[in-house]
A and B are shown apart, each in its own frame.
Chain A
Amino acid sequence: MVQRTLTLDHEQRRTRVAAQLIAQPPPATTPVAANRTLHDAAHKETLPGRTVRAEGAPATGDQQADEVYDWLGVTFDFYNTAYGRNSIDGGGLPLVATVHYSVDYDNAFWEGSQMVYGDGDQQIFKTFTGPLDVTGHELTHGVTQYSGGLDYNGQSGALNESVSDVFGSLVKQYHLGQTADQADWLIGQGMFTDAVNGVALRSMKAPGTAYDDPALGKDPQPAQMADYVETDSDNGGVHINSGIPNHAFYLAATTLGGHAWEKAGRVWYDTLTSKKLPSGADFVTFASMTYATAGTLFGVNSTESDAVREAWATVGVKVT
């Protein structure tokens, strides 16, 4: 940030500011704020469904709609406060979400322009709207999309998934005011019913340990490049191999300490939104770009850039 500002020619900047003063209306006095609309699909699959709550309207009494309304607000606030980003697209995009999608639907997804949440079947999943990191994860798919995208298959797909887990977890840590050593680094904690033997869907701290259940099997996430899973399902195992970059982020964040969104999070965010990240990036490309970003932000050979390089090396990805 600092470095980039320094590279700007001061005279050029003053001229631009002057031009803006002439060409544009006075700056708005209203602070940047979320513009949320909640819909109810009433267990059908037509989007967006009936409007149940607009921005600023009182709570509906529908727990799921009200939870999502709050979590959209927290996620918006996180991106704005931590990175100065005004909504998903950086341009104040309204946040639209639909709850009660389909019947016993065990999923939540970003549809390209809005959020969609199922109720969960109550056998395996009790909720998709409860945990804040689910909303943080899904909205981050939108941020990735508006940043140029990461192709949703193979290594670039696993990076797409990992970036959503990273910022999903960071939104939660931000909301709870946690430092890296205080965070649980779990994704989807509290979603499983009591019938399932598991704490969450994924663990960034210890990939592969989130659940081990007779019906669901064992958490298949690797933490190491050597254990990368080649598969045709799930677009090349994007929800499996995300364990590798997830763990690299965890290592960088805990090595640096403090609030993870400030240093490691800033490095990942600037890399994602640099407009230089190829949509087909593999782990080595992404890792090398985070290392370069850390060098730009904190200095080459700084504690921060060393921590980023070491984190990737530990999961078996060598930066170039």
Chain B
Amino acid sequence: MAVTRSGGFAGLVRRAEVDSADHPTVAGLIGDVRLDDVPEPRPQPDRYVYDIEIGDHSAQVGEADLHGPLRELVDHVMTLGG
């Protein structure tokens, strides 16, 4: 899976990729995440935008909508693969 973070005041792009087969914690969190249920991004000045890819599924999520297991997953992947 992969996370690409864009936006923020700096406008820098950061991408992190992790193979869930190598990371049981990531695999576990993926099981808790429903990518199809994330709300449409509401653009807000200088907040981060996350493009999240899990296998064939992908979604764009605004920083303010990143909660719960999805937030945990994104933080974990950015730390591991960033």
A residues sitting closer than 8 Å to B (CB atoms) are 106-112, 124-125, 128, 134, 137-138, 141, 151-153, 157, 160-161, 164, 188, 191, 201-202, 216-217, 232-235, 238-240
Contact status B60-A232, CB under 8 Å: yes
Known: A233-B49, A234-B49. A137 touches B9 (CB 8 A): yes
Contact status B7-A153, CB under 8 Å: no
B residues sitting closer than 8 Å to A (CB atoms) are 4, 6-13, 41, 43-49, 51, 60
Contact status A152-B9, CB under 8 Å: no
Contact status B60-A109, CB under 8 Å: no
Known: A232-B60, A233-B4, A233-B51. A152 touches B10 (CB 8 A): no
Contact status B49-A106, CB under 8 Å: no
> Across the interface, which residues of B come within 8 angstroms of A201, CB to CB?
9-11
Known: A232-B60, A233-B4, A233-B51. A141 touches B46 (CB 8 A): yes
Contact status A110-B43, CB under 8 Å: no
A160 CB contact (under 8 Å) in B11, B13, B45: B45
Contact status B51-A107, CB under 8 Å: no
> Across the interface, which residues of B come within 8 angstroms of A232, CB to CB?
51, 60
> Across the interface, which residues of B come within 8 angstroms of A106, CB to CB?
8, 10, 12
A297 to chain B, nearest CB (A): 28
**Given A107-B10, A234-B7, 6 other A-B contacts at CB below 8 A?**
A108-B46, A109-B9, A128-B9, A151-B43, A160-B45, A233-B6
Contact status A157-B46, CB under 8 Å: no
In the assembled complex, 7 residue pairs joining A and B whose CB atoms fall closer than 8 Å, in A order, are A107-B8, A109-B44, A124-B12, A128-B9, A188-B9, A232-B51, A239-B11
For A137, A138, A233, the residue with the greatest tally of chain B CB atoms inside 10 Å of its CB is A233
> Across the interface, which residues of B come within 8 angstroms of A235, CB to CB?
7, 41, 43, 49
* CB nearest neighbor in B for A154: B43
Known: A152-B43, A160-B45. A138 touches B9 (CB 8 A): yes
Contact status A153-B43, CB under 8 Å: yes
> Across the interface, which residues of A come within 8 angstroms of B47, CB to CB?
107, 109
Known: A216-B12, A234-B7, A239-B11. A138 touches B46 (CB 8 A): yes
> Across the interface, which residues of A come within 8 angstroms of B11, CB to CB?
201-202, 234, 238-240
> Across the interface, which residues of B come within 8 angstroms of A164, CB to CB?
45
* CB nearest neighbor in B for A201: B10
Contact status B43-A239, CB under 8 Å: no
CA distance A110 to B12 in the complex (A): 18
